[in-house]
């Protein structure tokens, strides 16, 4: 089965072709980072315009790289949720038009489940596992018993971790996106500020996250003028990684899983990769990280997740709508209750 994946949920326009026999045939990603840099974040209307401009050339290249034509494709998959609605609409409408024109079935994919299951392109993970989702818009823990069997365990009460990275980078005048720059600046010896741990001692929030207080603490240190950028960035990163590692391992122990899959843009973080791998190993748990090309937004993960969904024949009609905000367990509920075609 050959699946064409389309991803436009934020600021990357991407199309990929996944072949169930040969593996990933192509994955073309057109990034808008340079365009959004001057705004210090993603500017929705600009993102939508860029998707409109780029989607056809990106499709063209993805087909060429895969050495296939549209007629060879069996299924069209697209990210339907969550994301910037003006961006999602472009990819969804494009996928619907392709499905209509080629008479190939359409499968909807949730961006977060794509981040999680995209890792399966390269790595084998046994069920059940814990998923730590860390991206620009999400910080969530899920128990994954099977494909489409998701239990929400906890999530952020305010900012997402990637968002906190981006905002701290802005305070320090380090540019956008902030995660990779702060990660690059990090030096363990420079992590000299002991930021307070958010939600500490609140049992009901043991699997929830909060980063807005930490962000405010960072701002106070910036304004004090007493610390270098490297010291603030390193201390921030150390605190964030400590929080993520501790909560994830506590959840892994409580839910008795043997594997943890980390997904989303922040999974590229070098300290998180190192610390979680090391500390999980001590507990006999395997921490699985995607290869770097699958960490940030891409359509390879959408094509692969679309393939898993197509195996279940969960095809939808053209009335199935994109949604800006919806958790992936709820998305599956909607999918299961809507008429599939």
Report if residue 296 touches ligand KG4, rule: CB under 6 A: yes
Chosen from Zn ion, ligand KG4, none, partner binding at 108 (C-beta under 5 to 8 Å by type) = none
Instruction: Determine, following the binding rule CB under 5 A, whether residue 11 of this chain makes contact with Zn ion.
Output: no
Alpha-carbon dihedral sign for residues 131, 132, 133, 135 = negative
Distance separating the N- and C-terminal Cα atoms of the chain:
18
Residue/partner pairs of 142-148 with CB below 8 Å, 24 or more apart: 142/116, 142/328, 142/329, 143/255, 143/257, 144/116, 144/261, 147/117, 147/308, 147/312, 148/309, 148/312, 148/332
Comparing CB distances to Zn ion, the nearer of 83 and 105 is 83
Between 180 and 198, CB nearer to ligand KG4: 180
- Does 178 contact ligand KG4 by CB under 6 A? yes
Q: Is 136 in the site for ligand KG4 (CB under 6 A)?
A: yes
SS3 category, 186: coil
β-strand partners of 165? none
Q: Pick the closer one to ligand KG4 by CB: 63 or 114.
A: 114
In this chain, which of 5, 108, 265, 290 binds ligand KG4, going by CB under 6 A? 265
Which residue, 86, 142, 88, is CA-closest to 112?
Answer: 142
Beta bridge partners, 79, equal 109
Query: Of Zn ion, ligand KG4, none, which one does residue 113 interact with (CB within 5 to 8 Å by kind)?
Result: none
Interaction with ligand KG4 in 179-208: which residues (CB under 6 A)? 179-180, 183
Which residues 268-307 are close enough to bind Zn ion by CB under 5 A?
Answer: 297
* Enclosing H/E stretch for 78: strand 75-81
C-alpha R_g of the chain? 20
Q: How many residues bind Zn ion (CB under 5 A)?
A: 2
Does the footprint of ligand KG4 cover residue 159 (CB under 6 A)? no
Strands 75-81 and 23-31: unpaired
Positions 97 through 136 that interact with Zn ion (CB under 5 A)? 135
Residue (106 or 294) nearer to Zn ion, CB: 294
Show the CA angle centred on residue 27, arms to residues 32 and 80, nearest 5°. Answer: 70
How many residues line the site for ligand KG4 (CB under 6 A)? 19
- Count CA atoms within 13 Å of residue 62 on its CB side: 31
Residue 268 found at the interface with ligand KG4 (CB under 6 A): yes
- In eight-state DSSP terms, residue 15 is E
Nearer to Zn ion, 234 or 298 (CB): 298
**Which among ligand KG4, Zn ion, none contacts residue 290 (Cβ within 5 to 8 A by kind)?**
none
Residues that bind ligand KG4 (CB under 6 A): 10, 135-137, 162, 165-166, 177-180, 183, 264-266, 268-269, 296-297
Residues that bind Zn ion (CB under 5 A): 135, 297
């Amino acid at each position: 089965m050959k699946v064409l994946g389309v991803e436009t949920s934020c600021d990357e326009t991407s199309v990929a072709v996944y072949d169930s026999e040969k593996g990933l045939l192509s994955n073309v990603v057109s990034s808008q980072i340079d365009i959004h840099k001057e705004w210090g974040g993603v500017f929705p209307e600009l993102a939508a315009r860029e998707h409109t401009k780029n989607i056809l050339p990106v499709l063209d290249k993805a087909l060429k790289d895969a050495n296939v034509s549209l007629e060879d494709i069996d299924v069209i998959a697209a990210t339907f949720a969550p994301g910037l609605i003006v961006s999602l609409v472009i990819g969804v409408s494009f996928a619907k038009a392709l499905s209509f024109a080629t008479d190939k079935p359409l499968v909807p994919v949730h961006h977060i489940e794509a981040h999680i299951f995209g890792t399966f392109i390269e790595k084998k993970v046994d069920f059940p596992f814990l998923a730590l989702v860390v991206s620009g818009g999400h910080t969530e823990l899920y128990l994954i018993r099977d494909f489409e069997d998701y239990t929400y365990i906890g999530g952020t009460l305010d900012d997402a971790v990637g968002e906190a990275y981006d905002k701290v980078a802005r305070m320090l005048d380090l540019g956008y996106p902030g995660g990779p720059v702060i990660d690059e600046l990090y030096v363990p010896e420079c992590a000299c500020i002991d930021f307070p741990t958010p939600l500490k001692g609140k049992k009901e929030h043991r699997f929830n996250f909060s980063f807005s207080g930490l962000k405010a603490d960072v701002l106070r240190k910036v304004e004090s003028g007493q610390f270098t950028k490297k010291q603030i960035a390193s201390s921030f990163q150390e605190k964030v990684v400590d929080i993520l590692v501790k909560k994830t391992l506590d959840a892994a122990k409580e839910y008795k899983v043997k594997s943890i899959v980390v997904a989303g843009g922040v999974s590229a973080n070098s300290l998180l990769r190192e610390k979680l791998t090391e500390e999980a190993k001590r507990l006999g748990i395997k921490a699985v990280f995607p290869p770097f090309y699958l960490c940030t937004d891409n359509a390879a993960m959408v094509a692969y997740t679309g393939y898993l969904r197509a195996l279940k024949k969960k095809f939808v009609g053209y009335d199935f709508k994109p949604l800006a905000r919806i958790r992936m367990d709820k998305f599956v509920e909607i999918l299961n209750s809507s008429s599939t075609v």
